[in-house]
Amino acid sequence: MKTILLAGFGAMGQSIFDQLRDDPRIGRWLVLERAERADDARRKLGRHGQVVQSVDGLETRPDFAVECAGHEALGTLVPRLLEQGIDTIVASVGALALPGMVDRLDAACRAGGAQLTLVPGALAGVDALAAARDSGLVSVDYTGRKPPGSWQGTAAASLCDLEHLAEATVFFEGTAREAAATFPQNANVAAMVGLAGMGLDQTRVRLIADPAAGGNTHTISARGAFGRLEVMVEAAAFASNPKTSALAGMSIVRAVRNRLNAIVI
Ligand SMILES: NC(=O)C1=CN([C@@H]2O[C@H](COP(=O)(O)OP(=O)(O)OC[C@H]3O[C@@H](n4cnc5c(N)ncnc54)[C@H](O)[C@@H]3O)[C@@H](O)[C@H]2O)C=CC1
Ligand SMILES: O=C([O-])CC(=O)C(=O)O
């Protein structure tokens, strides 16, 4: 039976645990949380696992790890996990847009002989984009559209009047690298499109606050030698965190199951 280390027990982390808690192939959860949220995590984990203080000096070595704790945590925790040879699945893909981060993670993987998995998260179409890239891509565009409430508490609040928007408002246009760095809680998907396709600096991003949006919508438009791609997801958000689509948690669950299943889809 497997032991999984889960860094971050917020909206996504709790949903991942809830979906996988009864899987007989998983024996134990080691959860890393900030001190002020540790008791809550301990209570929710019950007999299924324990809260740990650090990724270093663990009594039980995890078989693999999952990160859903944010950009800062990715930078501090994930290289240390990889250096210890612990394969890690990450949600906070946008942190790879930070200067030097890809090289740092690559070096940590090599030092530990570990593998880092970036999930599509709330996106669809990443498989096709990544497959098409070696044959040559001509353009890749990503548009993120969310209700104003999903942009509250982010840099969008200083770029438009989120409280009083009467219509859909484009408040950001730039590269995937700029989007990921400016909106760490909302533009991990933009970084994923960039990393899977033409690169962080060649991928164009538009971010929109839309009072009429029915959910968090993510649209990828791409052209290349393969042909043309147009994929849109309208995703329901977590009640506990409207910035995050529940599909992002499901995407991690898929990645975990793919490590446990005989047949990988
Ligand atoms: N790839 C994708 O499609 C998506 C990726 N994300 C990323 O996933 C992250 C998590 O999303 P949510 O669960 O919705 O956020 P959340 O804010 O609900 O939960 C994050 C949890 O991580 C904990 N945390 C923060 N720093 C930590 C640290 N150093 N060590 C341990 N725990 C720490 C927080 O206390 C909190 O409980 C986001 O910050 C974002 O970077 C979010 C949405 C979609
Ligand atoms: O969950 C989503 O809709 C996407 C998101 O927040 C992110 O990529 O950071």
- Divide the 265 residues of the chain into consecutive groups of 10 and give the mean pLDDT of each group: 97 98 96 96 96 90 97 96 97 97 98 98 98 97 96 94 94 97 96 98 98 95 98 95 96 98 96
Under 8 Å CB-to-CB from 96, ≥6 apart: which residues? 102, 105, 118, 180, 191, 195, 200
Answer for the pair 96, 177: CB distance below 8 angstroms, yes or no.
no
pLDDT for residue 24: 96
Answer for the pair 124, 224: CB distance below 8 angstroms, yes or no.
no
Q: How many residues does the chain have?
A: 265
What number does the ligand 2 atom closest to the CA of 188 have?
8
Pocket of ligand 1 (CB under 6 A): 7-13, 32-34, 37, 68-71, 73, 91-93, 121-122, 184-185, 188-189, 241, 244, 248
DSSP H or E run through 207: strand 204-209
Would you give the DSSP letter of residue 236?
P
Q: In what order do the strands lie in the sheet with 227-235?
A: 169-175, 204-209, 137-146, 216-224, 227-235
How many helices (H) and strands (E) in the chain?
9, 13
Proximal ligand: closest to the CA of 147: 2
Compute the mean pLDDT over every residue in the chain, rounded to the nearest whole number. 96
Give residue 255 CA to ligand 1 midpoint distance, Å.
17
Complex ipTM, two decimals?
0.98
For residues 58 and 247, give the distance between their C-alpha atoms in angstroms, rounded to a whole number. Answer: 31
DSSP H or E run through 44: helix 35-45
Upper half-sphere CA count for residue 220 (Cβ side, 13 Å): 28
Q: pTM for the full model?
A: 0.96
Residues tagged in the binding site annotation for NAD(+) = 122, 188
- Ligand 2 pocket, residue 187 CB under 6 Å: yes
Return the active site residues: 218
Q: Convert the pLDDT of each residue in 172-221 to its tens digit.
A: 999 999 999 999 999 999 999 999 999 999 999 999 999 999 899 999 99
Residue carrying structure tokens 């982010």: 154
For residues 243 and 11, give the distance between their C-alpha atoms in angstroms, rounded to a whole number. Answer: 10
